Copies of this chain bind each other. A is one copy, B any other.
Amino acid sequence: MVSIHRRIFEDIEARIMSRAWPPGHRIPFEHELVQEYQCSRMTVNKALSALAARGMIIRRRKVGSFVAARQIDRTVMDIQDISTEAELAGHDHSYRILMRKIEALDAATATQLGEPTGAEILRLHCLHAVDGKPNALERRIIMLAMVPSARTESFASVPPGKWLLDMVPWSKARHVIRAVSADAATARLLETERGEACLTLVRQTWQNSRTVTYVEIIHPGDRFQFAGDFHPSEKGAMDQLPRRSAS
C-alpha cells in the first residue's frame, strides 16, 4: 500500500522518464489532478512540490507546472574526507605534513580564489597513504581570517580536512575534477611514474561568500576513481543511523 501523494509522484515521474511527457510539456493543473485522483489539493501539492524539489518539473504561478528541460544525467557524488573514507572501507590511513607555513596571498592565487591579495593564509601540503601506499597529495590553503584557530593548530594528530570539517561550518562548496599528468615532484611523492595520469579534485569552500579553504587533492590515476549513482525516484538516504542514539 502506497500513499496517494507517492502514487501521484510516481505516475508523473514515470511519464517524464518515458518521455510520454517530454521536456516543456505542461503537467495537469492541481485541480485537474484532484479530480483524477479524487483527493485533496494538499495531497496533489505535496507530490508536485516533491517533483519540483528534485528539479524534474518547474512550477510557476498562474502558468502551471512543466517538465523541466535537461532532466539529464544528474549524478550525486559523495566526496568524502580521505581519512573518513578509508576508515569506512576498513583500510588503514596515515598521513604526514610536508609543509606548513603562514604567508600572504599572492596576486595570481588571490584572483583565482576571488579573495583580496595579501590576505593571510596558512599553506599546507600533506601526503596521505592508505594501507601504507601513497594515495593522495593534498595542497591546501586556509584563510586565517575565517579560521583563526588554524594558526596554532599543528595538524599532527587530526588531518586538516577532518579538522576543518569539525571546526568550521560552511555554506557552499564547489568541486572540480580534472585529469593532470604528474610532474616530477608529485610523481616522486606518490611513488608513481612521472607523467602518470592523476585524478585531481579541487574543492573551494565558502561561508557566507567568504572563502574558508581551497584544496587540491591529487590522486594517482591507477589507484583512484569517483563514482556516483542516479535513481530517479530514490528517496533520501535511508538507514543511516542507530536504533538507539545518544542525545
Q: Beyond A74-B79, A242-B24, is A169–B226 a contact (Cβ under 8 Å)?
A: no
**This protein's copies in its complex:** 2
- Write the A116-149 contact mask toward B (1 if CB under 8 angstroms, else 0): 0000000000000000000000000000000000
A241 at the A/B interface (Cβ < 8 Å)? Answer: yes
| Contact status B54-A172, CB under 8 Å | no
| Contact status B75-A173, CB under 8 Å | yes
A75: contacting residue among B26, B73, B175, B229, CB under 8 A:
B175
Choose among A18, A55, A74, A75 the residue with the greatest number of B CB atoms under 10 Å from its CB: A75
- CB-CB under 8 A from A52, the residues of chain B are 236
A179 at the A/B interface (Cβ < 8 Å)? Answer: yes
* Partner-B contacts on A (CB < 8 A): 14, 17-19, 23-26, 50, 52-56, 58, 66, 68-70, 72-81, 84, 166, 169-181, 195-200, 203, 219, 221, 224-232, 235-242, 245-247
